[in-house]
Structure 1
Amino acid sequence: MESLSVISRWLKKQHVVTFCVSNESGIWCANAFFYFDEQRVAFYLLSDPASRHGEMIGQSRPVAGTVNGQTKSVALIRGLQYSGTIRLVDEADSGPLREPYYRRFPIARVHKAPIWEILVDELKFTDNTLGFGKKLFWFRDPEAAQQAGLDQ
């Protein structure tokens, strides 16, 4: 779990997640402010279900995306790629998930959009500050890590 700890510390300093979804009508990406829950290994964000990506997701959909820093130096590049499932959280279950989000982004209290959960299955973190091209991995399913030829 050391990789997850390193990744989580870095994610706490980031603010925007990119997520991409597809359905029979096509593929679409969106950006959102996020809160990352290290215990569930999940991103939480607010978004309008009537948006293009919201309509494509419906209640649940496979998702992939990125979180990246903004640096001009190749030696300082850090970025995350992930895959998992995005779902619209039932309003009745959203209360405890909103509080950490609101602590991070107080202005969001005025935004009445529902909360979405991206439950992550795989993380790939590139961190050139640890050496050029250094990659850290995390998999929810240990068998997936073995199939990829990686240890967690």
Structure 2
Amino acid sequence: MNPNIISFLQKQTVASICTTDTAANPYCFNCFYAFDAANYLLIYKTHNDTNHATLMLAQKMAAGTILPNKINPLLLKGVQWQGEVLPQSSVLIQQAATIYHKAYPFALAMSGTIWAIALTQIKMTDNSKGFGAKLTWNKID
């Protein structure tokens, strides 16, 4: 993955995550996330009884966006991504929990379950490198 994309994902805190129901009706939510650069995981915490958790368990695929914590309209940066929701039984979930709680220690006191999305595609717009400059990444299995 391009170091500029990794750096961007590590510095931000909020992701917009989208999924669909079986009729392809979209549903989006926002959450604090942590990024695992070694495994290309977007990690977040939520309750299993939420609408988005139910949909993601059924659909397994997600997409979303990440914008900078502070937006500079002239030097806009942002990421559009796609990925696959990892099952709760994945061996990576325990490691993901450690990464998430290191980034957000207050989340240890909150109920909920750690979730992770294995990123498969990223398109980053980075106007600091020229208007409309794009960086792309695709996971190769």
Does the TM-score normalized on the shorter chain lie above 0.5?
A: yes
Q: Using a 3 Å threshold, how does the CA distance of structure 1 residues 132 and 113 change in structure 2: closer, same or farther?
A: same
Name the count of aligned residue pairs: 139
Q: Deviations over 1:41-70 (max 9, x none)?
A: 110110111111111112651111000124
Q: Deviations over 1:68-116 (max 9, x none)?
A: 124242x210000001112342387633221111111110001221111
- Tell me the equivalent position of 1:111: 110
Q: Normalization by structure 2: what TM-score?
A: 0.89
Larger radius of gyration: 1
Q: What SS class does the counterpart of residue 58 from structure 1 fall into?
A: helix
Written as runs of structure 1 = structure 2, the 5 A alignment for 1:3-152 is: 3=2, 5-25=3-23, 26-58=25-57, 61-69=60-68, 70-73=70-73, 75-90=74-89, 94-141=93-140
| Percent identity of equivalent pairs | 26
8 Å Cα contact 1:44-1:115 kept in structure 2 = yes
Range 57-66 or range 25-34, more displaced: 57-66
8 Å Cα contact 1:87-1:118 kept in structure 2 = yes
Range 95-104 or range 125-134, more displaced: 95-104
Q: Using a 3 Å threshold, how does the CA distance of structure 1 residues 93 and 123 change in structure 2: closer, same or farther?
A: closer
Unmatched 5+ residue regions in structure 1? 143-152
Range 14-23 or range 89-98, more displaced: 89-98
**What's the RMSD between the two structures over aligned residues?**
2.0
Q: Using a 3 Å threshold, how does the CA distance of structure 1 residues 61 and 127 change in structure 2: closer, same or farther?
A: same
Unmatched 5+ residue regions in structure 2? none
